[in-house]
Structure 1
Amino acid sequence: MNRQKGRSSDAIIAPEIVMEFDSLQEAYDFYNIYSWEIGFGIRYGQSKKNVAKSKTVQEITCGCEPKHVNTKSACCGCLAMIRLHRTTDNGWYIHEFRKDHNHGLAMNRGEKMQWPSHKNIDPRIKALVKNLRDNNIGLTKAFIVIGSFFGAMENVPFNKRSLRTLCANISRDHSEDDVKKTFDLFSELKMKDPNFRDSCLADKDGNIRALMWTNGKSRMQYKQFGDAITFDTTYRTNLYDMPFGLFVGVNNNFQSIILGGVLLTNERTETFEWVFKEFVSLMGGKAPVTILTDQCRAMELAIAVVLPGTTHRWCKWHVLRKAKEHMGLLYSKASGFRDEFHKILEYMITVEEFEAAWAILIAKYGFQDHPFLTQIYEVREMWAKPYFAGNFCARMTST
Structure 2
Amino acid sequence: MIIDYSNFGDVVTFDTTYGTNKELRPFGVFTGFTHHRGLTVFGVALLYDEKAKSFKWLFERFLVAHAGKRPKTIFTDQDPAMAKALSEHIMQNGIKHLENLMKNGSSFLQVFKTCMFEFNDEIEFEKTWEDMIETYAIHDRSWLDTIYKLKGKWAKCYMKNEFTLGIRSTQLSESLNGDLKDYLTSDLVMA
TM value normalised by structure 2: 0.51
Residue among 278, 285, 289 paired with 2:72: 289
C-alpha offsets along residues 295-338 of structure 1, whole Å, 9 cap, x if unaligned? 21111121123478xxxxxxxxxxxxxxxxxxxxxxxxxxxxxx
Counterpart of 2:81 in structure 1: which amino acid? A
Match of 1:394 in 2: 165
Q: 1:63-107, CA deviations, whole angstroms, 9 ceiling, x for partnerless residues?
A: xxxxxxxxxxxxxxxxxxxxxxxxxxxxxxxxxxxxxxxxxxxxx
Opposite residue 394 of structure 1, the aligned amino acid is L
CA contact (8 A) 1:254 1:394 kept: no
- Greater percentage in helix: 2
SS in 2 for 1:388: helix
Q: Distance in 1 between matches of 2:159 and 2:71?
A: 18
**Count of residue pairs the alignment pairs up:** 109
1:267 aligns with 2:39: no
Kindly name which structure, 1 or 2, has the bigger radius of gyration based on alpha carbons. 1
1:156-195 equivalent positions in 2, closer than 5 A: none
Letter of the aligned partner of 1:392 in structure 2?
A: F
Name 2:18's counterpart in structure 1. Answer: 235
| Residue pairs, 1:45-194, within 5 angstroms | none
Q: In structure 2, which of residues 63, 84, 88 is the aligned counterpart of residue 301 of structure 1?
A: 84
CA distance in 1, matches of 2:42, 2:25: 20
Q: Give structure 1 regions of 4+ aligned residues with deviation exceeding 4 angstroms.
A: none
Gaps of 5+ in 2: 92-120, 123-154, 175-191
Report the CA distance between 1:394 and its aligned residue.
1.4
Secondary structure in 1 aligned to 2:85? helix
Query: Tell me, what secondary structure is at the counterpart of 1:259?
Result: strand
Gaps of 5+ in 1: 1-217, 309-350, 353-380
The separation in 1 between residues aligned to 2:61 and 2:159, in whole angstroms, is: 29
Q: Give the Cα–Cα distance (whole angstroms) in 2 for the partners of residues 299 and 274 of structure 1.
A: 11
Among 9, 15, 20, the residue aligned to 1:226: 9
Aligned partner letter, 1:240 = E
Normalising by the residue count of structure 1, what TM-score does the alignment of the two structures yield? 0.25
Aligned twin of 2:39: 256
Q: Distance in 2 between matches of 1:238 and 1:292?
A: 25
CA distance in 1, matches of 2:16, 2:6: 23
**Paired residue secondary structure (1:254):** coil
Q: 1:304 & 1:291 partners in 2: Cα distance?
A: 13
Conserved 8 A contact 1:242-1:265: yes
Q: How far apart, CA to CA, are the structure 2 residues paired with 1:239 and 1:395?
A: 36
The residue matched to 1:262 in structure 2 has which SS? Answer: strand
The alpha-carbon deviation at position 228 of structure 1 amounts to 0.9
The one-character-per-residue Cα deviations of 1:135-159 (angstroms, maximum 9, x if unpaired) are xxxxxxxxxxxxxxxxxxxxxxxxx
Matches for 1:369-384 after TM superposition, within 5 Å:
382=156
Which residue number corresponds to residue 247 of structure 1? 30
Higher RCO structure (Cα 8 Å, ≥6 apart):
2
Give identity over the alignment, percent.
35
